[in-house]
Chain A
């Protein structure tokens, strides 16, 4: 089973700063099935990125995804107040979906 490890656990930044979130897989994975989600307190997760690079419908272009093999990154180019939340990466392989443990982006 593939394990996804996200880092850091918590990222303390100010609005306007750049956020770089990491998702590392325990073995090489297909970027086709790597997704990122945002979850705010009391809300359901929201799909941000699918296929490692593609933004979901309605997602602002300050969100971007990159990476390959075992290392994937979600970048928020300039943090807006509404971006402070928890972010999860997710992967599908062999009929199984796994999630990373999440990175919390908090206001510094």
Chain B
């Protein structure tokens, strides 16, 4: 079965670091870009950035550049999104998805809820 399995919910304090994961199965991880999308509580969708696992070519939405780091490990077919210092405003659900035909996102993980609160 083709799927993207994301790591579990996290509760962190402002200033904490965090790395969440997205493990791919059912297709060749190195052939497709993986994207990360943020959804703040009750809000819409925002593209954060994407990575091509084969060569780790990474692109960022300027709004998120410098705020997060996207990476991938082809040995375990996983992509990652990480923060070095979380803020309360990072509270959101973070989705990974596969970038597919005509730049659409055809497969999605279930999302990782990140809560940042003191």
Seen from chain A, the residues whose Cβ lies within 8 Å of a Cβ on chain B are 32-33, 35, 37, 43-47, 50-51, 54, 56-57, 88, 90, 92, 95-102
User: Which residues of B15-71 have CB atoms within 8 Å of chain A's CB atoms?
Assistant: 35, 37, 44-47, 59, 61
> Which residues from chain B contact A47 at a C-beta distance below 8 Å?
104-106
Query: Measured between alpha carbons, how far is A95 from B103 in the docked complex, in Å?
Result: 10
Is there contact, CB below 8 Å, between A90 and B104?
A: yes
Max chain A C-beta neighbours (<10 A), residue from B45, B95, B109:
B45
Those 9 A-B pairs whose CB atoms lie nearest each other, nearest first: A92-B103, A50-B104, A97-B47, A44-B108, A35-B104, A99-B45, A51-B102, A50-B102, A47-B106
Flag whether B76 is at the interface (Cβ < 8 A).
no
> Which residues from chain B contact A90 at a C-beta distance below 8 Å?
45, 104-105
> Which residues from chain A contact B100 at a C-beta distance below 8 Å?
50
Interface magnitude class on chain B: 20 to 34
> Which residues from chain A contact B108 at a C-beta distance below 8 Å?
44-46
Known: A44-B95, A51-B104. 14 other contacts (CB 8 A): A35-B105, A44-B97, A44-B108, A45-B95, A45-B97, A45-B108, A47-B106, A50-B101, A90-B105, A95-B59, A96-B47, A97-B47, A98-B47, A99-B46
> Which residues from chain B contact A44 at a C-beta distance below 8 Å?
95, 97, 108-111
> Which residues from chain B contact A35 at a C-beta distance below 8 Å?
102-105
B58 to chain A, nearest CB (A): 12
B20 to chain A, nearest CB (A): 14
> Which residues from chain B contact A100 at a C-beta distance below 8 Å?
44
> Which residues from chain A contact B46 at a C-beta distance below 8 Å?
99
> Which residues from chain B contact A102 at a C-beta distance below 8 Å?
44-45
Query: Measured between alpha carbons, how far is A100 from B44 in the docked complex, in Å?
Result: 8
Q: Of all chain B residues, which has the CB nearest A36?
A: B104
> Which residues from chain A contact B106 at a C-beta distance below 8 Å?
47, 50, 56-57
Is there contact, CB below 8 Å, between B102 and A88?
A: no
